[in-house]
Structure 1
Amino acid sequence: MHSTRTLQRVAVLTVTYNSHNILPGMLASLPHGADCTVIDNNSTDHAALLNVVRQYDARLIRNNKNVGFGTACNIGAAHTETEFFLFLNPDARLEAGALEALVIAADTHRDAVAFNPAISGTNGRPYFKRGSVLLPKREKLPSGWPETDCRVPVLSGAALFVRRTAFEAVGGFDPAIFLYHEDDDLALRLRTQCGPLMFVRAARVMHDAGNSTTRSSQLAAFKAFHMGQSRIYALRKHKRTGAERKALISAFWQRVSPVALISARKRAKQTAFLRGVLGAMQNKAGP
């Protein structure tokens, strides 16, 4: 059972883009009385989204253009005054007691600044972000959830619980990252500048990954392009310039793979990823 005091300490923030079909499941999973703000990146399903938001007594902030995931999160955070933020994907679901477990962990580990719950897929398998392309391989953790609460090298943005003071101290999400790797970047800045990152075993979240928006070849290509752009930008920002060449080689081989040659959707996606990588590498004005 969640106390009113616990709920008053946390703002749940979720970013949507044509996500009205998947959003009700996430909103329904929140404890009654939870403070939730939906930040919409100029979706075309505004009327349907508004109905969902009203049904679950959430707040809606509608951007007049798609500003990207991180910037939308920053906008939502600026409209709240709580001690903690829970950035939660619209295709995620809190299990019973998850929010309370995160608050308890934050109160117990006062030196830690940001936390991930135990995230699983719809098949029940653990989804654990054990490393990052922005970190050396030696920091990569074993697969599967740790048995107990522990410090981790990086966090997933699918369900990211963070102290407001730390979030504001590092300037929030980097607005230069439109989509992808913004969670890695934020987590590493939090770890370097503010304090440890932690995994919380008792907090459980289910993530229906990849279903926050309707799938299409056009959208897949759009996302892949920005992943390529963000990959190079973030590698440079975190002084992983030696990994740029590996990213380019990987993008090339994905483009000429048999799967990409057979599937038009995969081909469009991998072509866009390669374009994103090449475009970012040619941009000398990066970080």
Structure 2
Amino acid sequence: MTDIVVVVLNYKTPDLAVLAAQSAAAAMADCGGAIVLVDNDSPDSSFQRMIDATRSVEWPAHLDVQVLQSGRNAGFGAGNNFGIHAGLEICPTAEFIYILNPDAQVEPNAISALVDYMNDHPKVAIVGSWVYGEDGADHCSAFRFPGLASEFESSVRLGPVTRLLKKHVLPLHIPETSGPVGWILGASMLVRRSALNEIGLFDETFFLYFEETDLCLRAHRAGHEVHFVRESRVCHIGSVSTGMGTWQRTPSYWYQSRWYYFSKNHSRAYAISATALMVLGTVLWRLRRTIEGKPKPGAKHFLRDMVVHDLRALLRPTPDASIRAIGLPSETSLQTSVD
């Protein structure tokens, strides 16, 4: 039996997080290991509600289910790193780590399909699922890596440009077959433990967004592969914790993550070039919308906020890219165990 550590990171969505854990448990009939629900220091009663809810659920006897409090909200990467470390203490024999969003529900064969795929493809370090919404509509689940061309193409939003730069279009949507991609959504991500031992965990400099992109890029650069698996399907409500779909104004952490991703993985000159191309593309798109008499949707002051942020970031040193929680934390507080 393959052992897996499942990490469900919660921030103010405790009921959904427990349901996500239950769906994972139901999909692990042929897998052992641990399910770790981590509360990322939610400013509400999330932690106690998850404890109470897990105690009322009858969990499979072969799984160890734990509810933990991270004690700080340092972001998606840091919270999942905490859960990974704790999960490996609970189940030191785990071969894989499975990251599952709290607002996601896995289908009965979703986890086994990822594990089987990994076993059949030893060069693959990270795999992701086919993600769809509550309405059955597909969510973009696989992507190319962002770059200069993709920043311009995504912002100018013009058919001829998209056709010209088709090999640089960021979203791959739902690939027709399972196979290699650039990066996959962190909403349903299975990672080989041996690969994490080599490349490290999530870079905790990212608070939110771009951290799974960065992890997949590091895997590629270390000689591993990242694949999308059509046979694994997961329902994702999407952006419940972050509210991304309803942003009136883009939060500063998105700009910080974007800048850090480009400057860390390429260069500061590359990062400022990416911003310049996004500004150019957005200005051209807005001009076209004005000529056509159409509204310009999107977050308020997006360009201004991005330019101001990046100019300020240009004057500051790039954070040390080695800042990752690689070692085990000094204290792991296993608050409750549900057998």
> What TM-score, normalized to structure 1?
0.82
Correspondence for 2:78? 71
Kindly indicate whether the alpha-carbon contact (under 8 Å) linking 2:105 and 2:234 is maintained by their aligned counterparts in 1: yes
Counterparts of 1:79-94 in structure 2 under 5 Å? 79=86, 80=88, 81=92, 82-94=94-106
Correspondence for 1:284? 317
Q: CA deviation at 1:146?
A: 2.1
Counterpart residue type for residue 260 of structure 2? Y
Please give the alpha-carbon distance, in whole angstroms, between the structure 2 residues aligned to 1:139 and 1:215: 24
SS in 2 for 1:14: strand
Question: Do the aligned partners of residues 160 and 135 (structure 1) sit closer, same or farther apart at CA in structure 2, a change above 3 Å counting?
Answer: farther
SS in 1 for 2:37: strand
Question: Do the aligned partners of residues 269 and 50 (structure 1) sit closer, same or farther apart at CA in structure 2, a change above 3 Å counting?
Answer: farther
Please give the alpha-carbon distance, in whole angstroms, between the structure 2 residues aligned to 1:202 and 1:194: 25
Please give the alpha-carbon distance, in whole angstroms, between the structure 2 residues aligned to 1:99 and 1:135: 35
Please give the alpha-carbon distance, in whole angstroms, between the structure 1 residues aligned to 2:192 and 2:205: 22
What per-residue deviation string (whole Å, max 9, x for no partner) do you get for residues 217-265 of structure 1? Answer: 8x976x721011000010111214321323566789999x8556xxxxx
Please give the alpha-carbon distance, in whole angstroms, between the structure 2 residues aligned to 1:136 and 1:215: 24
Please give the alpha-carbon distance, in whole angstroms, between the structure 2 residues aligned to 1:245 and 1:55: 54
Q: CA deviation at 1:117?
A: 1.2
Kindly indicate whether the alpha-carbon contact (under 8 Å) linking 1:37 and 1:60 is maintained by their aligned counterparts in 2: yes
**Residue 18 (structure 1) aligned with residue 8 (structure 2):** no
Counterparts of 1:1-287 in structure 2 under 5 Å? 5-6=1-2, 9-32=3-26, 35-44=34-43, 45=45, 46-56=47-57, 58-79=65-86, 80=88, 81=92, 82-127=94-139, 128-134=141-147, 137=150, 138-140=167-169, 143-212=172-241, 224-239=251-266, 240-241=270-271, 242-247=273-278, 259=297, 266-267=299-300, 276-286=309-319
The higher relative CO (CA closer than 8 Å, separation ≥ 6) is in 2
Please give the alpha-carbon distance, in whole angstroms, between the structure 2 residues aligned to 1:124 and 1:105: 24
- Identity over the aligned pairs, expressed in percent? 26
Kindly indicate whether the alpha-carbon contact (under 8 Å) linking 1:130 and 1:152 is maintained by their aligned counterparts in 2: yes
Please give the alpha-carbon distance, in whole angstroms, between the structure 2 residues aligned to 1:142 and 1:254: 19
Question: Do the aligned partners of residues 244 and 94 (structure 1) sit closer, same or farther apart at CA in structure 2, a change above 3 Å counting?
Answer: same
Unmatched runs of 5 consecutive residues or more in structure 1:
261-265
Please give the alpha-carbon distance, in whole angstroms, between the structure 2 residues aligned to 1:96 and 1:38: 19
Kindly indicate whether the alpha-carbon contact (under 8 Å) linking 1:11 and 1:36 is maintained by their aligned counterparts in 2: yes
Correspondence for 2:159? none
Q: CA deviation at 1:187?
A: 0.5
Unmatched runs of 5 consecutive residues or more in structure 2:
60-64, 151-166, 287-294, 322-339
SS in 2 for 1:65: coil
Question: Do the aligned partners of residues 272 and 18 (structure 1) sit closer, same or farther apart at CA in structure 2, a change above 3 Å counting?
Answer: farther
What per-residue deviation string (whole Å, max 9, x for no partner) do you get for residues 126-180 of structure 1? Answer: 2222224258543547744223221111121111111011112111111111111
What per-residue deviation string (whole Å, max 9, x for no partner) do you get for residues 182-238 of structure 1? Answer: 010001101110411111111111111111367998x976x7210110000101112
Counterpart residue type for residue 253 of structure 2? H
Q: Based on CA coordinates, which of the two structures has the bigger radius of gyration? A: 2
Question: Do the aligned partners of residues 212 and 72 (structure 1) sit closer, same or farther apart at CA in structure 2, a change above 3 Å counting?
Answer: same
Q: CA deviation at 1:39?
A: 1.7
Number of residue-to-residue matches in the alignment: 274
Question: Do the aligned partners of residues 251 and 141 (structure 1) sit closer, same or farther apart at CA in structure 2, a change above 3 Å counting?
Answer: closer
Kindly indicate whether the alpha-carbon contact (under 8 Å) linking 2:142 and 2:182 is maintained by their aligned counterparts in 1: no
Kindly indicate whether the alpha-carbon contact (under 8 Å) linking 1:84 and 1:164 is maintained by their aligned counterparts in 2: yes
